[in-house]
Amino acid sequence: MIHKQHRVSSCAVAADYTLEIGFDDSSFRVIDFRSILAGEIYGPLRDLNVFNLATIDPEVGTIVWLNGADFDPATLHDWPEHEPLLREMARRWNRVPA
């Protein structure tokens, strides 16, 4: 089975908690991350001042934040396939006591 590798080529804030992401295959995706911002890594991104500092890591070709949060670029590229599982994971992260 061939696993297509993707790289993020552009990233811009489109709205609160929403990024417009361009990929190396010329496709674009607008992703609202609000439903998955939970837990130790993604929870701090609920602060818009933190979320809006998303940048592209040129070495790995994905979006990263200063707190170390990131996503596999293939997950971002194929977001509709992965979002339901990520939402479920975020619900579990919210139930974990701090």
Which residue would you say has higher pLDDT here, 65 or 95? 65
For residues 39 and 28, give the distance between their C-alpha atoms in angstroms, rounded to a whole number.
Answer: 27
Which residues does 29 contact at the CB level (< 8 Å), separation at least 6?
Answer: 20, 21, 23, 76, 77, 79
For residues 85 and 4, give the distance between their C-alpha atoms in angstroms, rounded to a whole number.
Answer: 20
- Is pTM beyond 0.85? Reply is yes
- Average pLDDT of span 69-87: 94
Q: Which helix (H) or strand (E) holds 41?
A: helix 39-42
**Complete domains list, the chain, with CATH:** 8-95 (3.30.2020.10)
2-50 pLDDT tens trace = 667 899 999 999 999 999 999 999 999 999 999 999 999 999 999 999 9
For residues 38 and 36, give the distance between their C-alpha atoms in angstroms, rounded to a whole number.
Answer: 6
For residues 14 and 60, give the distance between their C-alpha atoms in angstroms, rounded to a whole number.
Answer: 23
Q: What is the pLDDT of residue 1?
A: 53
80-92 pLDDT tens trace = 999 999 999 999 8
Closest to 6 measured CA to CA, from 84, 87, 85, 82 = 82
